[in-house]
Amino acid sequence: MRTQDYIDLEKRYNAHNYAPLDVVLERGQGVWVWDVEGNRYIDFLSAYSALNQGHAHPRILAAMVEQAQKLPLTSRAFRNSQLPLLAKELCELSGYPMMLPMNSGAEAIETALKAARKWGYRVKGVPEGAAEIITCAGNFHGRTITIVGFSTVHAYRDGFGPFTPGFVTVPFGDASALEAAITPRTVAFLIEPIQGEGGIVFPPSNYLRDVRDICTRHNVLMVADEIQTGLGRTGQFFACDWEQVHPDVVVLGKALSGGFYPVSAVLAEREVLEVFGPGDHGSTFGGNPLAAAVARESLSVLVDEGMIENARLQGAHLLGRLKRIESDHVAEVRGRGLLVGVELKPEAGHARRFCELLKDEGVLCKDTQGTVLRFAPPLVITRDEIDWAVERIEKVLLMPGLGDSHATTQ
């Protein structure tokens, strides 16, 4: 079968909830992937940061195979020999005393929301049913009914109401607006340190420190969604580490499994996660031995192979090279570590067109919000591989007359 054959099958039998680039991948190694016709591409998306450790990392693969041959699943009705070790290792690496494992990032966000509400009732003393959680405009925390209900992006909400009450929205990066929105009923503030799907948007300097101070003074939980930004993506273990900020709750997913298996986790202070008792929350697959073994090795290779430092060094090189491209299409280049956004001018047209041209040049990336090219390669990337990619990015950004109006979804 050739590329178009696969595309036709997907269009016929699969729900059309994505608009992927027309490349059909079948193999990957490190930062490279190959399509069904043998063409090679450099991956500058990393499955939205799920592949920080690169495609098919041999150590993670070996750990997965070994555990799969012994015991993939027990459910949480019984204990297994891998979950306690993952809990210990992840807590020691992160500096948090407790964790709760789940599968997808959205599940972990829902878990954090439930924990925050129950903490509000059991610890803070908010009247039952009155808890409020503050979120930011431009956020992206997942796709569940509750989560899209507090999104400010129309496309994520359209046709899915009615929504879960109890959420308040403030502008991202505005500490004064956050403080003004807090009431005696406020139990938590949920925030991405950098808005990824929102367009690689950074808050002002020291904003996270201000948020930490405000939450502490008002007895409000600071909940950081580090699903995309955590585990080394920005050149620190957590993006919050850039401002030496310790949230009360951190949500992880994606790279926690190195791209092999859905694994997520909520890390928190004891008084937060200890509100859960048996039967309060759960998941058939969350914390299963296969997931735990994969996550343990994913964390090990991240540290052992210096990927976090590499993200910091190579990210600075990538950002510097992109900023030196003098393109009439580009309004701004911004980033931290290996999370970089290229904001296009309105007259450049939809960013999807640039992604299509980059695909033809051998670089796979993703547009977001219609105006931003998101570059987030695996953290194993080398300087030579960055230079190879930037040569092709520069070629596309210097092309004249690219204005177009393609539309896409995540």
Catalogue the active-site residues.
Answer: 140, 225, 254
Contact 139, 104 (CB under 8 A): no
Smallest Cα–Cα separation from 271: which of 108, 131, 118?
Answer: 118
Cα separations in angstroms, 70 against 60, 62, 67, 80, 83: 16, 13, 5, 11, 15
Smallest Cα–Cα separation from 194: which of 149, 225, 167, 215?
Answer: 225
Task: Give the integer Cα–Cα distance in Å for 366 and 347.
Answer: 19
Position 86, amino acid: L
Contact 111, 250 (CB under 8 A): no
Smallest Cα–Cα separation from 258: which of 225, 299, 226?
Answer: 299
Smallest Cα–Cα separation from 195: which of 223, 227, 164?
Answer: 227
- Tokens at residue 271, please? 């008084």
- Tokens at residue 131, please? 């808890």
Contact 111, 270 (CB under 8 A): no
Smallest Cα–Cα separation from 363: which of 40, 29, 24?
Answer: 40
Which residues are within 8 A (CB) of 298 and not within 5 positions of it... i.e. 6 or more apart?
53, 57, 60, 255, 256, 257, 258, 260, 263
End-to-end CA distance of the chain: 26
